């Protein structure tokens, strides 16, 4: 019997090749999309799970409590003394590991000279807490001595090739005031940090190097330049630990009126579950995980509905087979098992095709979203078992409806040539189409919102010039800062260069915070912690910042070098001045500099549009600068870049010429948003395509049912246009119902997604009108294909049996 079922299934697949191809490919595409989305979600959820003690690792976040008792926002980047204090006060903490903010340094071995942009000063306990595999050297002592360095495998090959680097030295330069200059002994080589780590690096320097050069900051609770992680033992209770934090703060913080506090965060939340600022690396978005998971379920559901509709569309062709089988003794259970078996066979074939699609698409997926996926990493017994279970359920669900419909045919009516489907079945199919297109319209609306929001981010006036702005990174090199005026003078001789300025920070990049006191309206000195951009003389005019009060720095005022301060409007409001002109002339005290405020610039977006504009000061400190910013003309860009390189080789031959464009650097903040847009749009389009296959199936089914009706209408004089309108009208009603259902759902979902942006678009009704029109157009095109084919059919053929 089962052999017969297999033969019949095979013959049916071969008999209707086009239907079989659409059925198998449509379901395969849905399964492939679901698998690819699963791989993406699995990768996002796998961050930091490779650490053996992942469930026992926590980190400290730093914040301030307000007068009403609320706390936040929190930073991960904080002071150094908190680590030893926690270890001393809490016996449930086994190990503490601290590391500095990222330290980009110039490393060299002979003529091999590179600026490493992923380096941290790290505690010797790093390998006790984190599970990084050391290939050569002793992990216990690798970071113990000052001027020790641990290289990743890739970095080691870059400097030493295939030689064993342990025991050899690399020369290091200064790094952001951390006194990193000196000869570093390579004490260990470790495997490259896994890609699914919330922070990654190319090399680790001993934290004792930093401690030796600047011991004072390791006792200053107000100095910010350290990340603190710790490993707890079995006696650790998170709730009890948190309840002890206020007493811990009181014991250790002696500053009057201090609102400083800390919180703790488990490592498992570091990538997807954190709201803290100043992360040591990248973070993901749990809301994006939910969105893609829902899209994956939508696509699989649409593919299953598509399979049901296409199978049902062919049911009339197999009605006589069902009638004969029933007449010779087959009961409904046998027929259901036959058709469910055929369904599972198609699912198996679709799964094979889906896996081929996945393997083929993976390299493109890597380029598409910037993540490298290796299918071997997902081939585990757990994943295989889960996949087989899901595919079995898909086969049973997708085949259940066609099986029940086909097995329910009345054999007497079938063999008499009467084959009417029940109204309930027709309503079920219509409901499935409404469901399909509700999902499709929601995805279309979501795509429009995502595109409009990203256009807002990329095209909004940020309040500063970022076009044709070349940024040369020399990493705080004192020799370059000493030659800054010579570089500026020489470069500005080039007619293709508009202006040159120097700064420690650029919009979209790193910036420090400083405790700043400014005279308030009542005459008292009011202190606040806030971002600062340490800048050179021409920063304000070079970046096109608008002055709203006072003046900017000028060579005509020698005192500007130490006794002047420029800030933005938000900073003026922070200190109590609604009119920025009122703060000009007020006293300030910041990081050892004291004087008066000389100017206020209009607020500009120096961070991504996920955040509102913060108070910002722009102290004049040319010797603290890191970047040379060059505004160039668009014509002859390549020649200009080469000319700048020649000047750089003459005046700063000891450093590599590293440049980038500010607009590219700034937009890099939206890397995850752009990836989200690409993935969302791609999978939305695939879902709509699969839904159209389902609509084609139902249109085919309806046209088959009304073949004789169409023939009679043509004999009585109906033209093609009227018949197409007749066949399309019901489907258009279904799509309009789908628009009504999808609109509130899509509005709510996308409004929630937009909450992650400080600057966001308004969702206008036109978004849903446009989504509905697009869906309607797609539906009309899909239905018209079958409707026109039916309308053009020769009525003689359809009426021959009458």
What are the φ and ψ backbone dihedral angles of 99, each rounded to 5 degrees?
Answer: -150, 155
Q: At what angle do helices 319-327 and 332-369 cross, to 10 degrees?
A: 140
Rounded Cα–Cα distance for residues 724 and 92 (Å): 76
**Both tokens assigned to 28:** 């395969």
Please say if the pLDDT value at position 317 is more than 80. Answer: no
What's the pLDDT band for 131 if we cut at 50, 70, 90?
Answer: very high
Within a domain: 134: yes
Q: Give the number of domains in the chain.
A: 4
Same domain, 450 and 483: no
More confident of the two residues 279 and 378 = 279
Please say if the pLDDT value at position 241 is more than 70. Answer: yes
More confident of the two residues 422 and 450 = 450
Average pLDDT (127-155) is 95
The 10 Å Cβ neighbour count of residue 238 is 11
Please say if the pLDDT value at position 737 is more than 60. Answer: yes
Q: Out of 79-93, 400-414, 754-768, which region has the weakest mean confidence (pLDDT)?
A: 400-414
Please give the distance of CA 561 from its chain centroid, rounded to a whole number: 42
Same domain, 488 and 570: yes
- Select from 487, 481, 486, 501 the least CA-distant residue to 662: 501
Residues 659/627, Cβ–Cβ less than 8 Å: no
Domain end (from 388, 420, 452):
420
Same domain, 80 and 198: yes
Dump pLDDT digits (tens) for 346-360: 888 888 999 999 888
Please give the distance of CA 517 from its chain centroid, rounded to a whole number: 38
Mean pLDDT taken over the chain = 85
Residues 669/608, Cβ–Cβ less than 8 Å: yes
- Return the DSSP state at 517: E
Same domain, 12 and 41: yes
DSSP 366-381: HHHHS----GGGG--H
Residues 170/153, Cβ–Cβ less than 8 Å: no
Same domain, 603 and 653: yes
Domain end (from 216, 237, 269):
269
Instruction: Give the SS3 label for residue 704.
Output: helix
Give 527's strand partners.
517
Within a domain: 229: yes
What's the pLDDT band for 732 if we cut at 50, 70, 90?
Answer: confident
Same domain, 80 and 33: no
Within a domain: 43: yes
Q: What is the pLDDT of residue 371?
A: 76
**Both tokens assigned to 77:** 């980047």
Among residues of the chain, what percentage have pLDDT more than 90? 44
Please say if the pLDDT value at position 378 is more than 60. Answer: yes
Provide the b/e sequence for 7-28 (b: ≥16 CB within 10 Å). Answer: ebbeebbeeeeebbebbbbbbb
Same domain, 651 and 624: yes
Same domain, 213 and 318: no
Dump pLDDT digits (tens) for 534-588: 999 999 999 999 999 999 999 999 999 899 999 999 999 999 999 999 999 999 9
Please say if the pLDDT value at position 337 is more than 80. Answer: no
More confident of the two residues 312 and 686 = 686
Residues 565/596, Cβ–Cβ less than 8 Å: yes
Q: What is the pLDDT of residue 704?
A: 63
The sign of the dihedral angle between the CA atoms of 489, 492, 498, 501 is: negative
Average pLDDT (309-323) is 66
By residue range, what is the domain housing residue 172? 56-269
């Amino acid at each position: 019997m089962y052999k017969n079922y297999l033969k019949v299934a095979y013959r049916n697949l071969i008999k209707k090749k086009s239907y079989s191809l659409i059925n198998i490919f449509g379901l395969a595409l849905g399964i492939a999309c679901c698998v690819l989305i699963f791989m993406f979600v699995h990768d996002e959820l796998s961050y930091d799970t490779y650490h053996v003690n992942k469930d026992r690792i926590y980190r400290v976040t730093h914040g301030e409590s307000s007068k009403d008792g609320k706390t936040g926002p929190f930073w991960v980047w904080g002071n150094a003394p908190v680590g030893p204090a926690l270890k001393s006060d809490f016996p449930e903490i086994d190990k503490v590991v601290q590391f500095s903010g990222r330290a980009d340094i110039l490393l060299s071995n002979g003529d091999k000279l590179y600026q490493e942009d992923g380096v941290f000063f790290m505690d010797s306990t790093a390998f006790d807490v984190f599970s990084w595999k050391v290939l050569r050297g002793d992990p216990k002592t690798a970071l113990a001595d000052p001027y020790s360095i641990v290289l990743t495998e890739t970095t080691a090959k870059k400097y030493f090739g295939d030689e064993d680097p342990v025991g050899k030295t690399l020369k290091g330069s200064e790094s952001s005031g951390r006194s990193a200059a000196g000869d570093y002994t390579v004490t260990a080589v470790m495997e490259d940090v896994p890609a699914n780590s919330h922070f990654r690096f190319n090399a680790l320097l001993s934290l004792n190097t930093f401690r030796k050069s600047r011991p004072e900051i390791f006792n200053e609770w107000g100095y910010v330049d350290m990340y603190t992680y710790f490993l707890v033992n079995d006696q650790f209770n998170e709730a009890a630990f948190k309840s002890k934090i206020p007493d811990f703060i009181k014991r250790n913080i002696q500053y009057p009126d201090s609102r400083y506090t800390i919180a703790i965060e488990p490592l498992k939340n570091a990538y997807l579950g954190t709201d803290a600022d100043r992360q040591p690396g990248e973070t993901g978005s749990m809301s994006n995980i939910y969105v893609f998971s829902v899209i994956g379920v939508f696509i699989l559901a649409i593919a299953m509905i598509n399979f049901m509709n296409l199978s049902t569309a062919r049911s009339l062709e197999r009605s006589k087979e069902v009638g004969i089988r029933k007449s010779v003794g087959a009961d409904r259970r046998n027929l259901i098992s036959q058709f469910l078996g055929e369904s599972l066979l198609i699912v198996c074939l679709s799964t094979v095709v889906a896996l081929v699609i996945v393997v083929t698409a993976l390299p493109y997926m890597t380029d598409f979203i910037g993540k490298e996926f290796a299918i071997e990493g997902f081939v585990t017994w757990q994943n295989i078992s889960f996949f087989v279970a899901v595919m079995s359920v898909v086969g049973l669900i997708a085949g259940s409806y066609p099986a029940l419909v086909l097995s329910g045919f009345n054999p007497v009516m079938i063999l008499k040539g009467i084959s009417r489907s029940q109204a309930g079945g027709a309503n079920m199919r219509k409901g499935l189409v409404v469901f399909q297109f509700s999902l499709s319209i929601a995805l279309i609306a979501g795509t429009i919102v995502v595109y409009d929001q990203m256009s807002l981010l990329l095209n909004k006036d940020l309040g500063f010039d970022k076009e044709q702005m070349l940024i040369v990174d020399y990493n705080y090199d004192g020799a370059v800062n000493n030659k800054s005026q010579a570089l500026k003078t020489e470069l500005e001789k080039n007619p293709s260069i508009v202006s040159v300025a120097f700064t420690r920070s650029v919009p979209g990049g790193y910036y420090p915070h400083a405790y700043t006191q400014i005279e308030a309206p009542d005459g008292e000195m009011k202190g606040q912690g806030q971002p600062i951009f340490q800048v050179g003389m021409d920063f304000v005019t070079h970046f096109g910042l608008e002055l709203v009060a006072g003046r900017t720095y000028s060579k005509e005022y020698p005192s500007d070098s130490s006794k002047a301060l420029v800030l933005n409007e938000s900073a003026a409001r922070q200190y109590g001045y609604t009119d920025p002109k009122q703060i000009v002339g007020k006293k300030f005290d910041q990081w050892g500099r004291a004087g008066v405020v000389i100017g206020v610039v209009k607020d500009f977006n120096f961070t991504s549009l996920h955040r509102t504009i913060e108070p910002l000061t722009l102290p004049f400190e040319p010797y603290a600068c890191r970047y040379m910013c060059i505004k160039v003309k668009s014509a002859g860009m390549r020649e200009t870049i080469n000319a700048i390189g020649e000047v750089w080789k003459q005046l700063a031959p000891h450093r590599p010429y590293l440049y980038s464009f500010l607009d590219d650097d700034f937009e890099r903040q939206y890397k995850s948003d752009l990836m989200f847009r690409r993935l969302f749009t791609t999978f939305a389009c695939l879902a709509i395509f699969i839904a159209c296959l389902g609509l084609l199936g139902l249109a085919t089914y309806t046209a088959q049912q009304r073949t004789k009706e169409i023939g009679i209408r043509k004999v009585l004089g109906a033209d093609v246009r009227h018949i197409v309108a007749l066949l399309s009208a019901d489907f258009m009603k279904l799509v309009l119902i789908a628009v009504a259902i999808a609109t509130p759902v899509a509005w709510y979902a996308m409004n929630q997604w937009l909450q992650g942006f400080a600057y966001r678009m308004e969702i206008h009704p036109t978004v849903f009108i446009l989504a509905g029109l697009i869906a309607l157009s797609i539906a009309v095109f899909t239905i018209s294909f079958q409707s026109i084919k039916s309308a053009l059919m020769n009525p003689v053929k359809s009426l021959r049996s009458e």
